Amino acid sequence: MTPSRLAVGLAALAFVWLGCDSLPGKPTEAERYRRPSEILDFESLYAVNCAGCHGSEGTLGPARPLADSLYLELIGRERMGRVIAEGVPGTAMPTFLDANGGTLTQAQIDAVRDGLFENWWKPPTKAAARKQLPGYAQPAAARAARGGDAFSKYCADCHGADGLGPEAPGERKANGKKGGAVLDPNFLALVSDQMLRTAVIAGRTDLGMPDWRATSDGGPMTEPEINDVVAWMSERRP
Amino acid sequence: MAESKSGPTSGPTNPRVVPPVTRRDFLFKLGLGLNVIAASLVAIPVVGYVVSALFHRSAQQAWIALGDLDRFPVNETRLATYRNPFTRPWDGVTADIPCWVRRTPDASGQPSFQIFAINCAHLGCPVRWFPESRLFMCPCHGGVYYEDGTVASGPPPRGLYEYAYRVKGGRLEVQGGETPNLAEPV
Amino acid sequence: MPGLAERARRTFGWFDDRLHLKAIFDSTAGHPIPRRSASWWYVFGSGTLVCFILQIVTGICLALVYVPSPNEAYASLEYLNYEQNLGWFLRGVHNWGSVFMVGLMTIHMIQVFLFGAYKYPRELTWVVGCVLFLLTLGAAFTGQIMRFDQDAYWGLQIGVSIAARIPFVGESIVHLLQGGPIIGAETLSRFFSLHVFVLPGLLIGGIVVHLRLVLTRGINEFPVEGQEVAPETYAAEYEELLEKTGIRFFPDGVDKDIVFAALVLFGIVGCAAILGPPIPNGPADPTLINTAPRPDFYFLSLFAAFALMPPYLEDFVIVYVLPVMVLGLFAIPFLSNVGEKHPRRRPGAVIAATLAMTTLCVMAWEGLDSDWSPHMDAWSGTAVPTHLVEGRTPLELQGALVLQVKQCRNCHALDGSGGKRGPDLSNVATRLTEDQLVRQVLQGGGNMPAYGKNLTPAEVTAVVAFMRTLHPRGQLPARDSAPPAVPASGTAGS
């Protein structure tokens, strides 16, 4: 056997060998099992733990949209991590940290939190816009008595003067331009004041509810008005 | 075969010889007897070796610490894991046994618990606790249990298996060692 | 100097003189068969044997690397899968070899049944064949255990739980299977020795008897309509058939078997190369409870049976029905020993085989979907379809949240996504009135837990309000047929 033939033979063998190694049935590293606690990529974690309520794209779920830069700006990274870990007692938000009886490790919660901000948070374009943003937490100094006026001024146009939504069910348009019954006692019983405040400030833009700057009255609500209307709504809770 | 051909006169076919107990007969019977004894000498230990798993029944339960009491908040159900005490060095992770610990409101000053086996009473699959709906669900055939372990729906013939527990020195201890099933529900 | 052929002949002669190879070969592979029995219908038995030999070869190769100890089994399996050169391929061949073996054996059995080949004088051949069938299923089950991943661990747990339901001896069987108080070190060793020593050994012995019976009583003649089997005349008839149309199995009647054997090997290697081996789904760690065990395909129909039968029947089925079914299989040649063989004259047999296979396939298909299993992550991972979110009131949105967070979606689908254990709720408003919805949520029933203790009144109101919106556009939700005693003033319920 001449050296050239030997070389051709070896090349053919190597080809077959490589061919074996790239067959479609060969298990890939991607298919390899990973323990649940080792899954640290945002997409997988979000798809299994968050998409059910917050929507698979971060919008149009029954719970607050997370693909909402304004909301992410409002809550901030640190608080977001805490909400995921501890949940919000009394509401539908469950606790996720394993030490609290949830299913995720702290590292996974950090990954979800960071992923939310990386994917859906854009820094405010103007420094001024950031300053305008009302505070996240509801202050104790709110005056509930004045909240009724603020509600009539900013909210009643969509949510009805009594806060029970448009009279006939058909009046509420499918595109959500008309708001629903936010003073329904059962609704109020199921949500926290913080949820109300967040909704007033950040809106639910995916369902047509504007944020605090673009109310039906045209102008932004002032921070005291926001405080008052949330306190007033809270008082309507049975 | 070859022998019977070579010696036709030595067999019992010869009518004049009354067949006494020949040496060959004796050796054959002796061999048979010896082999019966030898076979049982081998077989008894073999069978005993194989079925030994059926015995040593009493030593298969022990008290194992699950952790400090404050690991288990009142009115919550948490997953706890213990190392099975009856283990071989090469058992690996299979000897890490999970269980659900439910702490109920303290009765007369004593902390009180329910400790459920992970295994569904239907066919042994691992049930998962959902704190939101306060239900245990089984991923195999859809058995569902309430938080106190009673059957809520699905095929399980009984509630979740419960381990005995005790509180010793501020720590919760569980009596475990054996996987429960319908034949031996703990 | 003699020629090469002459030298070979002489060497063979030397061995043949001592080993009687030619005589053995003539009386086995060279046995006469009726010409019509060299048929494509008769290739499945030899195909099964080809699979078995392949299993032995690949099994020995895998055992070179595999470690049958719970501490290392899974790691050595992953090593085979991802690191050992071509280890994945051998795993694939071994896996698909077993799939083909069980499949071909089943086809072989059906063919034998339909052709009446089990009748006089081949009853024992059938009985030994049934033993081989059970042994092969045993090898398949123990083989699944060798993977020692989560499916293997929980499959074992299910097997043990089934055994535990047998009255009186259940407990002892459990201890024998486990070899200890839990599934652990000795369990895997037990199943390993079953899988690599006991079952293959018994299989080899069974195959020898099975083939020996084929030689002593001949291969079944191709059935002819109107020709009845009678024990008094059968032997003479078969003898006559051999004299008239007999050919030697080797080399005259083996052609189709050889072609089929090659096709089987191509099929197995092709499946291994293209579909690959099953990916082990996590170590046998009982603390990893985020698992949804599924059996390999051979046991999918059994898995489905346990899910679908009413719970009160389960013990009865384990203790009586399964053993009676197995005994029935063994008893077939004794129940119908004589008479017609041709399937066209045995409509009952055809119907029975068709029914049995249809049931098995449908059950396996159901097992593959396993709609009875809750989707454990659906509540947090399966989104509410966006068109059911848009245009809903705040309360209805909270209701949709309740439906997610209280794990309803684990069993109930919306628009086809979510668990399938309970009914799809996409059109639930057209089926149940508001009162009926409230009652169903609070009291459960129809295989649904009662949520009365686990929901606040506001949550019930919200989730029912949401479900009242679940009806097709233009179709009104269900309402009570009786008008309310006091006409509602203003707006109606919802």
ipTM at complex level: 0.89
Note whether A25 contacts C275, CB cutoff 8 Å: yes
SS3 A104: strand
Is residue C17 one of the residues assigned to a domain?
no
Is residue C227 one of the residues assigned to a domain?
yes
pTM over 0.90: no
Judge if C346 and C406 occupy the same domain.
Answer: no
> For residue C458, what pLDDT is reported?
96
Is residue C493 one of the residues assigned to a domain?
no
pLDDT tens-digit map of A53-87: 999 999 999 999 999 999 999 999 999 999 999 99
pLDDT tens-digit map of A141-176: 888 889 999 999 888 888 888 888 765 454 455 444
pLDDT tens-digit map of C391-430: 889 999 999 999 999 999 999 999 999 999 999 999 999 9
Superfamily of domain B61-177: Rieske [2Fe-2S] iron-sulphur domain (2.102.10.10)
Joined tokens for residue B128:
């998962």
The CATH number of residue C254's host domain is 1.20.810.10
Is residue C12 one of the residues assigned to a domain?
no
Judge if C55 and C169 occupy the same domain.
Answer: yes
**DSSP annotation string for A119-156:** HH----SSHHHHHHSPPSSPPTT--HHHHHHHIIIIIH
Joined tokens for residue A14:
């190597």
pLDDT tens-digit map of C283-316: 999 999 888 888 888 899 988 988 888 888 989 9
For residue C469, give the nearest of C412, C404, C419, C414 by alpha carbon: C414
pLDDT tens-digit map of B123-133: 999 999 999 99
> Which chain A residues are closer than 8 Å to B78 by Cβ?
101
For chain B, helix, strand, coil in percent to 5 are: 25, 30, 40
Q: Tokens 């806060």 — which residue?
A: A163
Domain map of chain B by residue range?
A: 22-56, 61-177
Whether the pLDDT of residue C364 is over 50: the answer is yes
| Euclidean distance between CA atoms A151 and A236, whole angstroms | 12
| Euclidean distance between CA atoms C6 and C478, whole angstroms | 95
- Measure A86 CA to nearest chain B CA, in Å: 13
Q: Which of C90, C149, C405 would you mutate first to test chain A, the one with the most A CBs within 10 A?
A: C405
Note whether C393 contacts A25, CB cutoff 8 Å: no
Judge if C112 and C181 occupy the same domain.
Answer: yes
> For residue C240, what pLDDT is reported?
94
Residues 6+ apart with CB under 8 A from B81: B96, B97, B98, B99, C287
Helix ranges restricted to H, C115-226: 123-146, 150-164, 170-178, 185-193, 199-217
Q: Which of A37, A100, A104, A105 would you mutate first to test chain B, the one with the most B CBs within 10 A?
A: A100
> For residue A65, what pLDDT is reported?
96
CA closest to C395 among chain A residues: A187
The CATH number of residue C420's host domain is 1.10.760.10
Is residue C286 one of the residues assigned to a domain?
yes
Note whether B78 contacts A94, CB cutoff 8 Å: no
* Other C-beta atoms lying within 10 Å of the C-beta of residue C300: 21
> Which chain B residues are closer than 8 Å to A94 by Cβ?
131-132
Whether the pLDDT of residue C223 is over 90: the answer is yes
Q: Is C76 on the interface with B (CB under 8 A)?
A: no
Which structural domain range is residue C90 located in? 27-367
Q: Tokens 């669900």 — which residue?
A: B137
pLDDT tens-digit map of C75-87: 999 999 999 989 9
Q: Is C79 on the interface with A (CB under 8 A)?
A: no
> For residue B18, what pLDDT is reported?
67
| Euclidean distance between CA atoms C324 and A198, whole angstroms | 66
Q: Environment class of residue C390 by beta-carbon count within 10 Å: exposed (0-12), middle (13-18) or buried (19+)?
A: middle
Which whole-number Å values give the CA distances from A21 to A10, A28, C84, C276, C376, in the listed order? Answer: 16, 11, 12, 12, 36
Q: Is C343 on the interface with B (CB under 8 A)?
A: no
| Euclidean distance between CA atoms A116 and A108, whole angstroms | 12
Q: Which of C318, C335, C367 is the last residue of a domain?
A: C367
Which whole-number Å values give the CA distances from A126 to A66, A73, A74, A214, in the listed order? Answer: 22, 13, 15, 17
Q: Which of C367, C400, C425 is the last residue of a domain?
A: C367
> For residue B177, what pLDDT is reported?
87
Percentage of residues in chain C having pLDDT higher than 90? 83
What is the overall mean pLDDT for chain C? 93
Q: How confident is the model at residue C486 (pLDDT cuts 50, 70, 90)?
A: low
Contacts for C360-368 with beta carbons within 8 Å, 24 or more apart?
Answer: C360/C301, C361/C301, C363/C300, C363/C301, C363/C302, C363/C304, C363/C305, C363/C308, C364/C297, C364/C300, C364/C301, C364/C304, C366/C304, C366/C307, C366/C308, C367/C294, C367/C295, C367/C300, C367/C301, C367/C303, C367/C304, C367/C307, C368/C297, C368/C300
Is residue C433 one of the residues assigned to a domain?
yes
Note whether A33 contacts C462, CB cutoff 8 Å: no
Q: What is the H or E stretch that residue C230 is in?
A: none
> Which chain B residues are closer than 8 Å to C67 by Cβ?
none
Q: Is B98 on the interface with A (CB under 8 A)?
A: no
φ, ψ at A167 (rounded to 5°) = -60, -65
Q: Is B77 on the interface with A (CB under 8 A)?
A: yes
Judge if C146 and C281 occupy the same domain.
Answer: yes
φ, ψ at B173 (rounded to 5°) = -120, 145
Is residue C21 one of the residues assigned to a domain?
no
Exposed e or buried b for every residue in B50-76, given b needs 16+ CB within 10 A? eeebeeeeeebbeebebeeeeebeeee
Is residue C487 one of the residues assigned to a domain?
no
Q: Which of C308, C341, C367 is the last residue of a domain?
A: C367
- Measure C436 CA to nearest chain B CA, in Å: 19
Exposed e or buried b for every residue in A215-238, given b needs 16+ CB within 10 A? beeeebbeeebbbbbbbbbbebee
> Which chain C residues are closer than 8 Å to A20 by Cβ?
86, 89
Q: How many domains does chain C have?
A: 2
Upstream peptide bond of C181 is cis (omega within 30 degrees of 0): no
Note whether A33 contacts C282, CB cutoff 8 Å: yes
Judge if C325 and C435 occupy the same domain.
Answer: no
SS3 A176: coil
